[in-house]
């Protein structure tokens, strides 16, 4: 899968996500790629996550699981709570991870999914995320999309998780009044 760079001047939820992506790149060396907030793409019979390539083209990157990467993640924007101009915005976000455990650490002979999740949780908490919930249930990880997930893509040696959380962001970029 192609990479997506960082925004020059991200705003609102994308600014928070970019901070997390940069933190992940610096502190989770096992993560191949991280992608910004996705959109839901609709084909005739299904929907799936895509992200704009941010390279001046019209290209979108399909983020359904495949074997081309050892690990990747992408973010979903689930909503925001904007109270008033004196309070920060509470963003409800989720991050979806997909792993090929045999490629991340070939010396491991056991399922170490929860070790990776603990690392992710540490990074999220370090960055001020709260109300965190974790799912490794195959029916919940890609629940916003209707594409037919090959369950083999989430059976060991492969794994995945979806972590939902809330994060406060600056509201100075909103036009009030």
pLDDT digits (tens, 9 = 90+) for 8-47: 888 889 999 999 999 999 999 999 999 999 988 888 888 8
Cβ atoms 99, 158 nearer than 8 A: yes
pLDDT value for 153: 57
12-27 and 113-126 helices, crossing angle to 10°: 130
**How far apart, in whole angstroms, are the C-alpha atoms of residue 120 and residue 132?**
11
Of these ranges, 105-119, 120-134, 136-150, the one predicted with the greatest mean pLDDT is 120-134
| The pLDDT of residue 135 | 96
Please report, for the chain, the start and end positions of each structural domain, with discontinuous segments joined by +.
Answer: 12-169
pLDDT the model gives residue 65: 82
**Does the pLDDT at position 137 exceed 50?**
yes
- Angle, vertex CA 133, rays to CA 132 and CA 139, nearest 5: 150
pLDDT of the residue at 177? 44
pLDDT one-digit tens code per residue, 82-119: 877 778 889 999 999 998 898 898 898 888 999 999 99
For position 154, what pLDDT does the model report? Answer: 58
- Is the CB of residue 48 less than 8 Å from the CB of residue 64? yes
> Residue 151: pLDDT band by 50, 70, 90 thresholds?
low
CATH code linked to domain 12-169: 3.30.2000
Provide the pLDDT for residue 17: 96
pTM: 0.90
CA torsion through residues 162, 163, 166, 169, sign: negative
pLDDT of residue 64: 82
Question: Is the model's pLDDT at 56 over the cut of 90?
Answer: no
């Amino acid at each position: 899968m192609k990479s997506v760079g960082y925004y020059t001047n991200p705003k609102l939820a994308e600014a928070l996500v970019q901070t997390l992506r940069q933190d992940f790149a610096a502190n989770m060396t096992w993560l191949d790629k991280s992608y910004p907030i996705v959109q839901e793409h609709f084909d005739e019979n299904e929907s799936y996550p895509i992200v704009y390539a941010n390279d001046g083209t019209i290209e979108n990157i399909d983020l359904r699981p495949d074997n081309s990467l050892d690990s990747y993640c992408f973010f979903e924007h689930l909503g925001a709570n904007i109270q008033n101009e004196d309070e920060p915005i509470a963003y409800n976000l989720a991050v979806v991870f997909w792993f090929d455990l045999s490629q991340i650490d070939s010396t491991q002979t056991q399922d170490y999914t929860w070790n990776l999740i603990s690392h992710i949780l540490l990074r999220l908490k370090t960055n001020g995320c709260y109300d965190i919930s974790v799912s490794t249930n195959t029916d919940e990880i890609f629940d916003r999309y209707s594409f037919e997930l090959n369950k083999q893509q989430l059976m060991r040696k492969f794994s995945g998780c979806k972590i939902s959380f809330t994060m406060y962001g600056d509201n100075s970029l909103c036009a009030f009044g």
